[in-house]
Structure 1
Amino acid sequence: MAKCVSVCRKWQQCTFELKRIKGDICSKAHHCHLLCADTHFTIYTVACGTALGTSAHVLCRLGLIESAPTHWISGTSEQTKLSVEFPLEDILLITASPVIKAVTNFKQVSKRLEEFDVEEQPSSVLEKRYPNIKVIQSGITQLKSKEHKMFTEDGKEYGYEKLCLCAGAKSKLIFEGNPYILGIRDTDSAQEFQKHLAKAKRIVVVGNGGIALELVYEIEGCEVIWAIKDKAIGNTFFDAGAAEFLIPKLSAEKPETATACKRTKYTTGGSEKEGRSDTAADRLGSALGPDWHEGLHLKGTKEFSHKVHIETLCEVKRIYLQQEFIPLKQASLSFPKGKQNAEPDRGQNFPFFSALWPVYVELTNGKIYGCDFIVSATGVVPNVKPFLDGNDFALGEDGGLKVDEHMHTSLPDIYAAGDICTASWEPSRVWQQMRLWTQARQMGWYAARCMAADSCGESIDMDFSFELFAHVTRFFNYKVVLLGKYNAQGLGSDHELMLRCTKGQEYVKVVMQTGRMMGAVLIGETDLEETFENLILNQMDLSAYGEDLLNPNVDIEDYFD
């Protein structure tokens, strides 16, 4: 029988060690740990996301396959040496994509904040690095959880002892089956968008999340009508004040030299061929990483920089194809000039009908705009459909697979991580789940540890990354840091906000409740993230400091050395 490595919690500078428990014998002589990526059942798929790649990587590190001593993927500088030989443990990764996601250039910004790049790499890279990993490129046709079996498109059957579902999420399209509606969720759809944009004079972007925010800023040489259901842009990430701080960037010229992209780009074989079927496109998707637009030429047919008009508090009511709109003899609107009301889009035969566009969008505020195509960026839904038939998974309100504090689903020996799952444990007061790359990496890393511990009959504590919500990204070329209950989520009415804003440079907002900091939004180079992170975690009573917390003439770090 194979000796088993027990997973022990020993905190040393935000990492832990694996220690051999002498005489501890694992009852299983041979394990097959199966991690499953997305299948072709979805419209826009995440072929092999961060959660999946991270889970496989950490399983290797935990001794579930043989591995030389090396750095942890957590990015800490210490090495964890594995001083014993581990049993041969087979890990199968089933993915519909020929590429995998790898976390690279990891940087620990603070104790909880982390930055990293996401690179696409051929699956062969993972197999060469870890000989006990086998990558199966195929879609999933069925999961039989009671029999512990998975069935793939190529007619093969795989048994598993433990299964981790890291199948990500799929785009929510405003209308299905319309050729003029594009969803941007994966690398293939991003390239398809670039191809359409090169011929476009005007597009309509629907949605107010991260993809939409990045998109409207990056597009040049094309009119953009941005339709959002909220009062202000970026409602998912910040309040109306922060939105007002960012909006001037949409009318300013973009910097001529962009930051060089460090991510290696791969294209899936044959995916760019004209006329490829929808089925093939669905099968090959690989999730977008941070700064997904880097390396893409997002420019329309015109010679201007930004030209964005925002329609707030509205949604899409109806979409007309050109042949459907012409008989109506209605006038669509031209691109608004400044704060003036939009005028009819004058076509060659106006007023009988407007300028001809391939597709028209009618909004719930009564306005109609013609455009070359529509981008649906209205969010994602967990990609659970391929796994539900015949399996009694407990689902969260958002449709994700419910997982407990050790990433178990409701079915035996099945775990889930990343966008596909819904955290159903009692969360920390200053943490919430959001379907972001940061949390996908953290969940995949933690799920692998949980699988390793369960294999040996051991238990581990909840990972510290779930103590505080912490996310760093970039919007409109600003560094954006989100901490804790940054939008006062769930705090009720007894909270207060403190603000500091320097136009064009920085925007700082902290959320206070009973004298304690509960969250913060930091836009720009504020250098406050580590201090505020500690204050939120410590829950220190800050009432005595008052407005000095945000006084730019006071070095706040001096208070808390």
Structure 2
Amino acid sequence: MAHKEKTFQFVIVGGGIAGVTCVEQLSSQIQSADVALITAGPHIKAVTNYKQVSKTLEEFDIEEQPSSVLEEKFPNLTVIHSAVKCLNTQSHAVETADGRVIGYEKLCICSGGRPKLLSDGNPYVLGIRDTDSAQALQKRLSKARRIVVVGNGGIALELVYEVEGCEVIWAVKDKAIGNTFFDAGAAQFLIPSLEADKPQSAAPCKRIRYTTEEPAAGASQTFTRGRILRGHGSGPTKPGSALGPDWHEGIVLRGAEQVSRRVTVEYQCEVEKIFTFEELLNSPQQAVKPENVGSWPVYIQLTNGKSFGCDFIVSATGVVPNTEPFLHGNSFALADDGGLRVDDHMMTSEPDVYAAGDVCTACWELSPLWQQMRLWTQARQMGWYAGRCMAACVLAEPIELDFCFELFSHITKFFNYKVVLLGKFNGQGLGPDHELLVRCTKGQEYVKAVLSGGKMVGAVLIGETDLEETFENLILNQMDLTQYGEDLLNPNIDIEDYFD
């Protein structure tokens, strides 16, 4: 590696939420510190309108800003616009793609994740992760009659709800939509939103220890609905950080057809193969039903035996930690999911190298109520905590694992409903002895409490339930709730009165 042109006390790689939050935390804690941020794009992702909703719940918006905004705020910050080519942990230096060599005393890798693509290099497969890909999608959609969306995470959910004027085939590998975020019961609550907007109000129905009727394996459901979306286009951006929770705002996701849209969900299936019309004609077994043969640019065959022709395929199948340029020549310990292993001070296995956000995997002894999910909230928390840990190390101060890692909590919006997730909201890792209490008011709210050994360990709240603080307290206090039984969710009992 060439001669270092400069050595900074702190170098952070990545202009997403984790990296920017880390920079802000370091720069405000040690104002004299020499900090460099290395980022490929001209824009950074900043947290705005931050609001602490309760002990662990937080809400914020995400804004793309020119990196100069950050430099104006912190005079000791240098922003270097380039991708990272390689890292030499022994000589404590980072080489950028444009050939500069930057030394560091402490480094924090916040390079995020990259989309897991269904197929590399296929022009008809679009991966959605950053603002750039969202705009490419908008352009392609305007001419589309039918698209296939593959994936069951947050981006797939939002996309399917927002697209109109275009037929959508949605392939999900699970028995229900939105499996990452909630269970089949919540999915059944949200499904009507894919139909035409009907004002629905009904009395709350309470079911205890419920099971939801799921579509049989290989079944599909079709919904139609119409809705007007007004959007404002925004200028082009360079490839960059992941999308914010409201990434589709300001992007008109409208297809070529003048119909209100139609969504068909294909459950419990994955992609078998993707092929062109030519390949279809030459294939011995005509897999595609005759009504689908024709002038589609691309075809997709699913593991449930069905095939569809479409204009393009959206791959929204999650991300893999973006460790690419850092591993070569170094000996980082990696977790099973490919992330850089970090301890409870966000330190990797290499000396003086920290990591935060989607690129890392939390490998300390986790709280029984917290799990890593590679979400915005966690990127912000990890970046903030990594900055604190780096500063504490330099200032030789002790530091405790932050309280935000005690209880998993996340606020988001799906299908225009407020969604709050707490703790083991999906019964993650709990034995068969846990029970679910559910209250559901059609079209209005869905409340689920997960109990284990008589104590609340998780919750899903959809709609304006106003229960988040109460439930958060019940989970954090681990109070025995056995005596309340089903009354815990009785809509006629004001639960806050019990537990204030």
TM-score, normalised relative to structure 2: 0.91
Counterpart in the other structure of 1:32: 9
Q: Kindly indicate whether residue 250 of structure 2 is the aligned counterpart of residue 295 of structure 1.
A: yes
Taking the TM superposition and a 5 Å limit, the aligned residue runs for 1:129-140 are 129-140=73-84
Q: Which amino acid letter does the alignment assign opposite residue 155 of structure 2?
A: I
In structure 2, what is the Cα distance between the partners aligned to 1:266 and 1:236? 32
Residue 244 of structure 1, aligned match among 184, 188, 191: 188
Does 2:24 align with 1:57? yes
1:267, distance to aligned residue in structure 2 (A): 3.5
Structure 1: unaligned runs, 5 residues or longer: 1-29, 38-47, 66-87, 272-283, 334-343, 347-353
Residue type at the aligned position of 2:431: G
**Paired residue secondary structure (1:527):** coil
Q: Report the alpha carbon displacement of residue 266 of structure 1 after superposing the two structures with TM.
A: 5.8
Q: Give secondary structure in 1 for the equivalent of 2:178.
A: coil
Work out the CA distance in 2 between the residues paired with 1:464 and 1:33.
25
Q: Is the 8 A contact 1:171 1:381 kept in 2?
A: yes
Q: For 2:88, which of 144, 159, 184 is the aligned residue? A: 144
The 1:474/1:49 distance shift into structure 2, 3 A limit, reads same
1:332 aligns with 2:299: no
Deviation at 1:256, TM superposition (A): 5.6
List gaps (5 residues or longer) in structure 2: 1-6, 198-224
Question: Root-mean-square deviation (CA), in Å?
Answer: 1.7
CA deviations 1:138-171 (Å, max 9, x no partner) are 1111100010000011111110000000000000
Deviation at 1:285, TM superposition (A): 2.1
Query: Does the CA contact (< 8 Å) of 2:227 and 2:260 recur in 1?
Result: no
**C-alpha contact (below 8 Å) 2:231/2:252 kept by paired residues:** no
- Contact 1:469 1:484 survives alignment (8 Å): yes
Tell me how far apart the structure 1 counterparts of residues 182 and 99 of structure 2 sit (CA, whole Å): 48
| Alignment counterpart, residue 313 of structure 2, candidates 361, 374, 388 | 374
Asked whether the equivalents of residues 33 and 161 of structure 1 are also in contact (C-alpha less than 8 Å), the reply is yes
2:374 is paired with a residue whose SS is coil
- Counterpart Cα distance in 2 of 1:364 and 1:265: 38
The one-letter amino acid of 2:392's match is A
* Larger relative strand fraction: 2
Out of 147, 150, 153, the position equivalent to 1:203 is 147
CA distance in 2, matches of 1:556, 1:55: 39
Report what 2:326 is aligned to.
Answer: 387
Q: Paired residue for 1:286? A: 241
Q: Which residue of 2 aligns with 1:9?
A: none
Shift of 1:176: 1.1
User: Cα deviation per residue 1:508-552 (whole Å; 9 max; x = unaligned)?
Assistant: 111001110000000111000000000000000011111111011
Contact 2:409-2:422 at 8 Å conserved across structures:
yes
1:258 Cα deviation from its structure 2 partner: 6.6
Match runs of 1:480-499 below 5 Å: 480-499=419-438
For residues 316-365 of structure 1, the C-alpha deviation after alignment (integer angstroms, 9 at most, x for no partner) is 111111221133483635xxxxxxxxxx426xxxxxxx222000001111
Distance in 2 between residues matched to 1:304 and 1:376, nearest whole Å: 24
Q: Is the 8 Å Cα contact of residues 314 and 364 (structure 1) preserved in structure 2?
A: yes
Quote the residue 1:351 is aligned against: none
Letter in 2 for 1:49: G
Correspondence for 2:267: 312
CA distance in 2, matches of 1:286, 1:129: 21
Residues 127 and 133 in structure 1, CA contact (< 8 A), matched pair in contact too: yes
- Structure 2 Cα separation of the partners of residues 266 and 306 of structure 1: 27
Between the two proteins, the alignment pairs up a number of residues equal to 466
Change (3 A) 1:97 1:540: same
TM-score by length of structure 1 reads 0.81
Partner of 1:80: none
Query: Contact (CA 8 Å) 1:250, 1:306: kept in 2 or not?
Result: no
Which of 348, 354, 358 pairs up with 1:409? 348
Cα distance in 2 for partners of 1:525, 1:145 equals 49
Alpha-carbon distance in 2 for matches of 1:258, 1:162: 47
Deviation of 1:306 (Å): 3.0
Q: Structure 1 residue 260: deviation in Å?
A: 8.9
- Distance in 2, matches of 1:49 and 1:140, equals 15
1:193 lines up with 2:137 in the alignment: yes
1-structure distance, mates of 2:493, 2:257:
47
Distance (Å, rounded) in 2 between the aligned partners of 1:255 and 1:450:
50
Aligned partner letter, 1:53: V
Is the contact made by 1:121 and 1:266 (CA closer than 8 Å) also made in structure 2? no
The one of 273, 288, 291 equivalent to 1:345 is: 291
Distance 2:178 2:409 in 1: 17
1:163 partner letter = L
- 1:429 equivalenced with 2:384 (yes/no): no
CA contact (8 A) 1:218 1:298 kept: yes
